[in-house]
Structure 1
Amino acid sequence: MNQMSAIYVGCAGWNLPREYWPLFTGHGTHLQRYASHLSAVEINSSFYRPHRPQTYFRWTQSVPASFRFSVKVPKVITHVQRLQGCELLLDEFLAQCSALGESLGCLLVQLPPSLVYDEAIATAFFQALRQRFAGAVVLEPRHASWLSADDLLIEQKIGRVAADPSPIPGGGSPGGWSGIHYWRLHGSPRIYYSDYDPSRLQALAEHVHTSAREGIDTWCIFDNTAGGFAVGNALTLQALSASISTL
């Protein structure tokens, strides 16, 4: 039997809407308060601008040893360069976020909807990334052509994100390399705004728990932050998953 793997549940960013303040410790920074109850966070700000290594180091010093960060790969790599000629950019990015040390749990590569899968370009990019980074990596493609990239993703040990809603057929389930499962809940039907109802969260908790029980490192990140529902959904999912573990 596989050993139960970790389940990392959190949000895109550690903003705490005021209505959830009573649920979190009243002391410390927003990140320290957030990390007192949730086990992971996705850093999306790295997509838009670089952060100094000292900033990443300060963040990792603010969280428990078991807490993990997922870091979004910069837009200049995925959307401007479109995965081409990125070696120096990867060096710069990894030099920054590696200051997280053991708290760096995953890199998220999110692609623009217009980026069609090109095997040669994708192979060169992921080989360059893997020459520099051996940790967990997940890909969120948004063009259906990337469904034919599974052989490459398996070879390079890259998981494909299970997104909701997903713009590609079958994109709501994890794909690619089976060593990591990463759910990204954007809010449905209204992206970034919609709340997830209890029945949907219960079903998700069962999927997440099954994944971890199979020995797969499992992530679930709520990105429905615009309406303030992400924190509540993450707390509910975490509680539901824990209750399944006790059955």
Structure 2
Amino acid sequence: MGLDTRIGCAGWSIDRQSAPRFPGDGSHLQRYAAVLTAAEINSSFYKPHQATTYARWAASVPADFRFSVKLPRSISHDQKLVDIDELLARFAAEAGTLGDKLGCVLVQLPPSLTLQPAVADDFFARLHDSFDCMLACEARHGSWFSDEATELLRRHRITRVIADPPAGQPGIYVPTTDLVYARLHGSPRIYYSSYDEAYLDQVAAYLKDRSGWCIFDNTASGAALPNALELLDKVRTQSQSKTT
């Protein structure tokens, strides 16, 4: 698949329609991780999880599986990235028990948060001090898509998220690292709409020669897992055609 492509969902619930693709015993996570290679932990945004919970999740998945963990809203939304040492230390201690199964930390910023270069510079430095995995940022205010923001993200090796539908992004997506982190929220109805085959063909083509993540967040009506499976099939077919 691609160069190193991870396809998954925000969470690992298995709906009845998709269940035949996930046979066998075990928890939903164990069955999910036998087919897909990534999952985004969104619940960490809303509430902390015990270190033992993260460790149990890590022990439930194969060696090549990776989690992306969403930064708590207490840091991104409540504190707006300022005075966050204690909160960040707690989050790092908890999520860090994922060990080598921690593939990415996702930062989603509120639509009202404008770029303050000095604040962002300090925050991303602290984030790198706390985690040695991939770091991705989904900003939703137009100031985070300026040339100044692009240079700042590149300097700190922060992958700018490709979001659908995009929020705050004027014009064409400008990457900030060699990695991809796509979050597909559902369109036209965010969190609900399923993606059609033509759109998934475009996503597969985009991922073809790129490394990174593609996470489906259109979970509200159960569209995420069928979309992820369809994209997985397309990317695998694409990869097989390259080797034959």
Give me the whole-angstrom Cα distance separating, in 2, the residues matched to 1:220 and 1:60. Answer: 20
Equivalent residue number for residue 179 of structure 1:
178
Give me the whole-angstrom Cα distance separating, in 1, the residues matched to 2:137 and 2:174. Answer: 10
The percentage of counterpart residues that share the same residue type is: 49
Equivalent residue number for residue 119 of structure 2:
121
In the TM superposition, structure 1's runs of 4+ consecutive aligned residues that sit over 4 Å from their partners are: none
Cα displacement string for residues 12-56 of structure 1 (whole angstroms, at most 9, x for unaligned residues) = 001111221122123100101111111100000000111111111
Give me the whole-angstrom Cα distance separating, in 2, the residues matched to 1:173 and 1:9. Answer: 20
Give me the whole-angstrom Cα distance separating, in 1, the residues matched to 2:172 and 2:53. Answer: 33
Query: Is 1:233 the counterpart of 2:227 in the alignment?
Result: yes
- The TM-score with structure 2 as length reference comes to 0.94
Give me the whole-angstrom Cα distance separating, in 2, the residues matched to 1:15 and 1:170. Answer: 34
What root-mean-square deviation, in Å, do the aligned CA atoms of Structure 1 and Structure 2 show? 1.3
* Shift, 1:170, TM fit: 4.7
> Are the aligned partners of 1:161 and 1:174 in contact in 2 as well (CA < 8 Å)?
no
Equivalent residue number for residue 40 of structure 2:
42
> Are the aligned partners of 1:166 and 1:172 in contact in 2 as well (CA < 8 Å)?
no
- The TM-score with structure 1 as length reference comes to 0.93
Give me the whole-angstrom Cα distance separating, in 1, the residues matched to 2:42 and 2:51. Answer: 16
Equivalent residue number for residue 166 of structure 2:
166
Aligned length: 238
Give me the whole-angstrom Cα distance separating, in 2, the residues matched to 1:210 and 1:198. Answer: 20
Equivalent residue number for residue 142 of structure 1:
140
Give me the whole-angstrom Cα distance separating, in 2, the residues matched to 1:12 and 1:190. Answer: 17
SS in 2 for 1:19: coil
Query: Is 1:92 the counterpart of 2:85 in the alignment?
Result: no
Equivalent residue number for residue 60 of structure 1:
58
SS in 1 for 2:218: coil
Equivalent residue number for residue 151 of structure 1:
151
1:83 pairs with one of 69, 81, 84: 81
Give me the whole-angstrom Cα distance separating, in 1, the residues matched to 2:46 and 2:65. Answer: 23
Give me the whole-angstrom Cα distance separating, in 1, the residues matched to 2:218 and 2:199. Answer: 14
Give me the whole-angstrom Cα distance separating, in 2, the residues matched to 1:99 and 1:25. Answer: 28
Q: Note the residue ranges of structure 2 that are not aligned, 5 or more in a row.
A: none
Equivalent residue number for residue 215 of structure 2:
221
Give me the whole-angstrom Cα distance separating, in 1, the residues matched to 2:191 and 2:172. Answer: 16
Equivalent position amino acid for 1:151 in 2 = E
Query: Is 1:191 the counterpart of 2:199 in the alignment?
Result: no
Cα displacement string for residues 185-223 of structure 1 (whole angstroms, at most 9, x for unaligned residues) = 0000000000100010011001011213xxxxx100000
Equivalent residue number for residue 199 of structure 2:
200
Equivalent position amino acid for 1:184 in 2 = R
Give me the whole-angstrom Cα distance separating, in 2, the residues matched to 1:232 and 1:208. Answer: 18
Give me the whole-angstrom Cα distance separating, in 2, the residues matched to 1:171 and 1:135. Answer: 29
2:239 pairs with one of 229, 237, 245: 245
Query: Is 1:29 the counterpart of 2:23 in the alignment?
Result: no
SS in 2 for 1:42: strand
Query: Is 1:132 the counterpart of 2:126 in the alignment?
Result: no
